[in-house]
Structure 1
Amino acid sequence: MWFNRDVTPVKKDRNVFLMQTDCSSHPKYRAWCAVESWANRNPGLDVWFILTSLTLDDSDRLPHLLLRRYPNLKVVGIDLDLIFNNTPVRDLFMSRKWTVEETWPPEVLSNMLRVLVLWHWGGIYSDTDILAINAFTLPLNAVGFDSHALIGSALYAFHAAHPVLWALMEDINREFIVRTF
């Protein structure tokens, strides 16, 4: 299955974003479980499963079945060059330093993308190991906490173009440069 890379959210702040940034065309079943839980529990929100792969392996028919069952589910690729334009992390992304100087480049890309998708379209970002057991009813402009009461990056909820997101992008850029030089 090929992706349309020009498909973008039309509703600001009414989105849930999950992503797989390792360029695999066959997401793990646990990721699909998280995607399905968000689509099932939040029918009033568009749920976007973003993959950096150009194709999706649908040989097990799971993506096909989920897309038929949940009209609010969108499985798409992403134009990385376009989404990074005019942002504080553009130069870092274009330099590709994060691909050679980091042990886990897909995680670095994910850290940048989670902030970028919320900056552009607003809504909720969730890691693929978080299941939605109820509808999301919390207000936007918040971050999740991990089990040790530390600010985590597994769950963000922000209005599009919120200044905190811009500051996060500046911090990602600044901290990466400080860490690697």
Structure 2
Amino acid sequence: MTNQLIKFNDGIIDKSQTLTNLQKSLDNNPGIDVFLDVYCDNVCKNVSLLSAEIRLGNICWGWIKLHRSQNSVWLDSEIEFLQQISNQISLDITYVYMLKENAANEIKIKIAEAANRAKSQILANTSHELRTPLGAIIGILSSFESTNLTTCQKEMINIMSCASDIVLSIVNGILDVAN
């Protein structure tokens, strides 16, 4: 079998040796594909195509594709350069996703902080609005202990005093759990 010679950059190159080097380069650059004679819809003719995947983790996000006249050989430096561009685009896209995620997390944090402030305000208002009147009721009811009352009146005062103590205990328990 005779080695084929091709014209490249105004010089003569051994095509079989170039293809061997090309295969080694492709083995070292996963996600790179080279086709020396493939039909390209963009230019409606056969071309030599160099393609690099843009990957985000384990997912193929897209491709960068370069083409030139058919049976043109791609240099190792061109393949490496396309791989570097692909890697940089992947990093940039990942960075943008991280920025979006960080912005979303900052919004969630601000919402949580606002909700916490609202909860604290509600608890403070509830504490004041419920405990203050209950304290007054309990205080007034206790002042009736030293007065002369009928048995029926003493029973009613006792029932109201017990009920007020129970309600105050429930309110205190709710507020303690909410804090």
Fold match by TM threshold 0.5: no
TM-score range, shorter chain: under 0.3
- Which structure has the larger Rg? 2
Which has a greater percent of helix? 2
Q: Which has the higher contact order (CA 8 A, sep 6+)?
A: 1
Output the TM-score relative to the length of structure 1: 0.22
- In terms of fraction of residues, the more strand-rich structure is 2
